[in-house]
Amino acid sequence: MELELYPEQVIQGQTHFLSHALRCQLEKIITSHTCHSDFQIQPALLPLKEHFLAILLKELIENAAQFAPSQSTIQMHSFLQDGFLHIDIHNIGPGIPPEDLARLMTAMPLRPSQKSGLGMGLPIVQKIVDLVGGLFQLSSICGHKTTASVILPILTESLE
């Protein structure tokens, strides 16, 4: 299945990471999964529309919360380095076996053993990140934790 998302849809705009409204939306996702959040964020101006940043973060945080034990903490840390915003989202949970990491980046229906969703979240994140010239990767320690890492270019001056 190919995702139809074009650069002009994603990058004709800019977003301040993280706006108050976006932060509230992400907190609501976390609490709906009976998890807690620990967001440590750096302000940055990003070359994509807020709507697409919201989709990217929503997908990553929902995945982290969905597979984390109840009452656990989802952590999001960010830092600026060499013109890029680095975002890491961690959960403590079952982890992902190494053989499944690559498969998760491909749009595909869920297997019966999976919890819910359409299996499209991570491929959508990958597409958005690719369109702005960023990097997305998953790492996991089976039985311990999973980390989703996103690196996005930052704007040094406003496009407006």
Reported as a single tens digit per residue, the pLDDT across 102-125 is 777 666 545 444 555 445 788 889
Q: Is 29 a member of any domain?
A: no
Q: Is 116 a member of any domain?
A: yes
Q: Is 20 a member of any domain?
A: no
- Say if residue 151 is exposed, middle or buried (CB neighbours under 10 Å; 0-12, 13-18, 19+): middle
Q: Is 30 a member of any domain?
A: no
Helices 50-66 + 20-32 axis angle, to 10: 20
Q: Is 129 a member of any domain?
A: yes
What CA–CA distance (Å, rounded) separates 114 from 100? 12
Q: Is 145 a member of any domain?
A: yes
Q: What is the pTM of this model?
A: 0.76
CATH number at residue 46: 3.30.565.10
Q: Is 4 a member of any domain?
A: no
* Parent domain of 70: 37-153
- CB distance 76 to 88 below 8 Å: yes
E strand or H helix that includes residue 36 = strand 36-40
> Where residue 159 falls among pLDDT bands split at 50, 70, 90?
low
Give pLDDT, residue 3: 42
Query: What integer is the mean pLDDT of 64-86?
Result: 86
Pairing of strands 36-40, 73-81: parallel
How many structural domains compose the chain? Answer: 1
Whether 137 shows a pLDDT value over 90: the answer reads yes
Q: Is 14 a member of any domain?
A: no
Reported as a single tens digit per residue, the pLDDT across 140-156 is 988 888 999 999 998 87
